[in-house]
Amino acid sequence: MTQYILALDQGTTSSRAILFDHDGRIHGIAQQEFRQIFPESGWVEHDAGEIWRSQLAVAQQVLKENGVTAEQIAAIGITNQRETVVLWDRATGEPVANAIVWQDHRTAGLCDALREQGKGQVFQQKTGLVIDAYFSGTKLKWLLDQVPGARTRAERGELAFGTVDSWLIFKLCGKHVVDTSNASRTLLFNIHTMQWDEELLALLDIPAGILPQVVPSSGIVGHSAVELLGGAIPIAGIAGDQQAATFGQACHRPGMAKNTYGTGCFMLMNTGKQAIASRNNLLTTVGWTIAGQSDYMLEGSVFNAGAAVQWLRDGLGIIKTSADVEALAQSVPDSGGVFFVPAFAGLGAPYWDAYARGTILGISRGTTAGHIARATLAGIAYQSADVLDAMQRDAEIQLTELRVDGGAARNDLLMQFQADVLGVPVVRPMVTETTALGAAYLAGLAVGYWQSTEEIAAQWKVEKRFEPLMSADERAQRLAQWRRAVQRSQQWLE
């Protein structure tokens, strides 16, 4: 009887379930989008119940459509949108409010206040993160302060907090846990002691009783309730989406790096068993914990990448589908001097400006939709170049290649331009579903489906390699212009 690993990939806009075979190949896939809720400008919410229902539905669908039974699933691996906050009633298992999504900026003022009180350094030293509305801690404080009765109920132990992995596991098997990779994104977790930090909890006024138990990224944490998927399947792998993608890209050694092109862009570099403190506004984060050993990463987060292409589709209506952007961009030889800084929700690394906003510069009467499309793709690549520049300075490692994945990594024009502005080869693997694959690998290692990271790394295969073609002079000139455009977008909101 053929055995598979079931990966649950809970993303920002959709829930997916993917079956992987022993060669790391996709055997089946199911996907369902869910609602994005925008109550106010800068606010982004999800219905956590809808997240759960969509995730369960695609898991059931992928098994049914491929004729696979629960007995054929060796383990379940879970990967998730990170930093998104769910607060629920322990007794009923129902959320007490909508989930606050990682993109949400309602707590920017609270973050400003913490920085003004001089708390930035204590958070950075302990968590490896900067104080920003992006992370879970201030979102959780907001829910406790604003949802009627939530703080009192939390102090009585009636409520549970979790990131999306915690929420799914609670619904699957009733356990209240989080893995180290997701815990490290909360602003509440000390990445050196690998424990929830009392000082940080006190600064954000969060009762410790609502926090999940921290577990390794690879290891059995429970078994799915029989009635959900037709059997008690071990839940054995958990990692935040970007750490999972890094694992799936076989970036298991220090100095290896990947970039995921999704709603945002997320570049991670493995720094091995040591947490390198960033001097250039990057994040230090836990990659994964296996057999008691943790690997650390340097990370740069770009908030708007694929989101900029979606805006061309939904906001401007100049393309019908996101895939159409490549042909439109190729209708012109270059961007015609147009620069687009897609700071719809502020700027992430290395700028960390919640008050920046999207900016298009260099428009003339000759500017066409093609130029805007080309500038959009270039803006995605330039943002990633800024991150890599900071990363190489922090790690004091010169990158030899960048491994890429995510939806927009299929865009050849974008990947070639990325190689050009980085000055290093960009390498796209055969399997670009590396986020789900990473979760599958972590789960499979825990149950002996795969024996070692070496066995996993041997499965990684190149589909296409993009060599840089741009001269060093042209690269420097373009990046200088880009940085001028970024300056124009910064601190736009008063």
Asked whether residue 310 is marked as a ligand-binding residue, the answer is: yes
Q: The pTM is what?
A: 0.88
- The first and second tokens of residue 99, run together, are 């989930």
Q: Is 278 annotated as a binding residue?
A: no
Dihedral over Cα of 237, 176, 263, 102: its sign? negative
User: Is 285 a known ligand-binding residue?
Assistant: no
Radius of gyration over alpha carbons of the chain, in Å?
A: 22
Q: Would you list the domain boundaries of the chain? A: 4-241
What's the rounded Cα separation, in Å, for the pair 69 and 55? 17
471 is in an annotated binding site: no
262: confidence class by pLDDT, cuts 50, 70, 90: confident
- Count of residues in the chain: 494
382 is in an annotated binding site: no
Judged by average pLDDT, the poorest of 84-93, 162-171, 207-216, 395-404 is 395-404
Instruction: Summarize pLDDT for 131-155 with one digit per residue, the tens.
Output: 989 899 999 999 999 999 999 999 9
Q: Is 314 assigned to a binding site?
A: no
pLDDT, tens only, 394-443: 888 788 889 999 888 999 999 999 999 999 999 999 888 899 999 999 99
Burial class (CB within 10 angstroms; exposed 0-12, middle 13-18, buried 19+) of 246:
buried
**DSSP per position, 58-120:** HHHHHHHHTT--GGGEEEEEEEE-SS-BEEEETTT--BSSPEEPTT--TTHHHHHHHHHTT-H
263 is known to lie in a ligand binding site:
yes
Q: Is the pLDDT of residue 494 over 80?
A: no
The annotation status of 83 as a binding-site residue, yes or no, is: yes
Is 494 flagged in the annotation as binding?
no
- The architecture CATH gives domain 4-241: 2-Layer Sandwich (3.30)
Percent of the chain with pLDDT over 70: 100
Q: Residue 264: what pLDDT?
A: 85
Q: Which pLDDT band holds residue 280 (cuts at 50, 70, 90)? A: confident
Q: What is the mean pLDDT of residues 165-184?
A: 97
| Mean pLDDT (the chain, rounded) | 94
pLDDT at residue 306 in the model: 86
Cis peptide before 429 (omega within 30 of 0): no
Cβ atoms of 262 and 306 closer than 8 Å: yes
The response to whether 4 counts as a known ligand-binding position is no
Is a pLDDT exceeding 90 seen at residue 1? no
Q: Partners of 45 in the beta sheet?
A: 37, 100
Q: For 163-177, 225-239, 251-265, 470-484, which range has the lowest pLDDT when averaged over its residues?
A: 251-265
441 annotated as a binding-site residue? no
| Distance of alpha carbon 206 from the chain centroid | 24
Q: Does 241 show up as a binding residue in the annotation?
A: yes
Give the residue-averaged pLDDT of 363-377. 96
Confidence label for 64 from pLDDT (cuts 50, 70 and 90): very high
Contacts of 327 (CB under 8 A, 6+ apart): none
